Amino acid sequence: MTVDIIQMTSFYLAMFCFLASSALAVGYLFEPARFQPRFANIIAASAFILLTLFFALRWQAVGYLPVSNMFESLSFFVWAVALIYLIVEHSFELPTLSSFILPFLTAFALIAAFIAGAPGVMDSKLKSGWFYLHVAFAFVGYATFAVAFAAAVMYLLQRRQLKSKKSFNSVFNRLPSLEVLDDLNQRLINMGFPLFTIAIFVGIYWAHKSKILGPNWPNDPKILFTGITWLFYAALFHIRLLSVARGKRVAQLTIIAFVFVVFTFLGTRLLPSGPHEFLK
């Protein structure tokens, strides 16, 4: 069996595991006695290990961090979200978090599987420690925001159930308290915003040093929307820091901010090409 076959086998097995873990996690909402979240997490952890193997083998084969095309970028995003989710789940022990984040993660995994392909051709300037740092901080920041997004959705659902006094008759009656979800949101934003900020400054320094984006890099649509996304999370971070608001408004802003994350990550590829076109 060749290394390429082992690579793709580990990738597709990871996608299958994510799909299975997602089904178990959603099942827990409806039939908690039948579907145990620990099994979903064990399978999700197995998927994470398999995806790690995929990246390790591909990196060894091509000689650089494999994020040269949409398939690899999506897969790396899935890997990062799985990492943050498993850390959060281990730290907070919130069984229902899996019911929201794993289906989201699986949706991106299936898109990645649909467009799976061979490694792209990468500019030699991208084989740089600065580029690796930029990508690592950016994707882990994105992943942290993804879990914060799930917590915000859970918060709004729990708040609606409590307000309508139907929580005991709902599939959402096992959601954590509003206080726990609000605290989780705060911790994730407090972790994700500095990581995202570091990614931006490392990217700017690297782009200036390597000249890879050319003189017009500030006009790149991806960079412009990254700036807008950063402003949203800067607002969230300082709202939390200064205790200006909590609860519903913060959850809503978290969801809106993550919409910009997704558009910055995927939607900007539909706009006229900018200096980032080498990553398409």
- Residues 251-265: pLDDT tens digits? 999 999 999 898 887
Residue 274 has pLDDT above 50, yes or no: no
- Residues 40-84: pLDDT tens digits? 999 999 999 999 999 999 888 877 788 878 888 899 999 999 999
Read off the pLDDT of each residue in 234-239 and give the average, rounded to a whole number.
88
The predicted structure's pLDDT at residue 107 = 92
- Residues 121-178: pLDDT tens digits? 666 666 777 888 888 999 999 999 999 999 999 999 888 887 776 655 566 677 888 8
The predicted structure's pLDDT at residue 30 = 82
The predicted structure's pLDDT at residue 212 = 66
The predicted structure's pLDDT at residue 240 = 76
Give the predicted TM-score (pTM) of the model.
0.88
Residue 225 has pLDDT above 60, yes or no: yes
Q: Are 125 and 62 in contact (CB under 8 A)?
A: no
Provide the mean pLDDT of the chain: 83
